[in-house]
Amino acid sequence: MKILLAVDGSPFTKKMLAYLAIHEEMFGPQNSFTVFTAVAALPPRARAAVGADVARGYYKDEAAKVDTPVRKFLARHGIQAEVCHEVGSAGELIAKAAEKGKFDLVIMGSHGHSALGNLVMGSVATRVLAHCKVPVLLVR
């Protein structure tokens, strides 16, 4: 199975990784994994002030802060994963990456907000569910 792991470095990502480790029979090294990180875009004025090269370096560094510990965790469990990141709105980017990469499953952690909380605060998980044509496993 080809699995996209949407990670953000939060405690909810850690819960999702623990879930994977506990369910190794389903999510073990026999699968193909890609770790995906969405990095928030710099404000346009800031990006213009620092230049494109510095901005690209910043995005790469921010993604590495999130995906490096995830890759190390997966490696300890015998899983070698591809890593990628995109810049922009996480919910839409995760859904697009899942479809474009022809993934069988997206796995991500979720805060577990109520419906009212999602209306007020928004939710990456809600956006992924709304835009994704690939099955999504939310770990709370």
pLDDT at 1: 96
CA-wise closest residue to 8 among 82, 69, 58: 69
With 0-12 CB in 10 A as exposed, 13-18 as middle and 19+ as buried, what is 58? middle
Angle at 67 between CA 139 and CA 35, to 5 degrees: 60
Give strand pairing partners of 38.
86
pLDDT at 120: 40
Q: Could you tell me the mean pLDDT of each successive run of 10 residues in the chain, 140 residues long?
A: 96 95 94 97 96 96 97 96 96 97 96 53 81 94
Helix (H) or strand (E) holding 75: helix 52-76
| Domain positions in the chain | 2-38+66-82+89-139
Q: Is the Cβ–Cβ distance between 56 and 64 less than 8 Å?
A: no
**CA–CA dist 31, 104 (Å, integer):** 10
CATH topology of domain 2-38+66-82+89-139: Rossmann fold (3.40.50)
pLDDT at 114: 54
CA-to-CA dists, residue 56 to 14, 48, 100, 114, 131, angstroms:
27, 12, 22, 36, 27
pLDDT at 115: 56
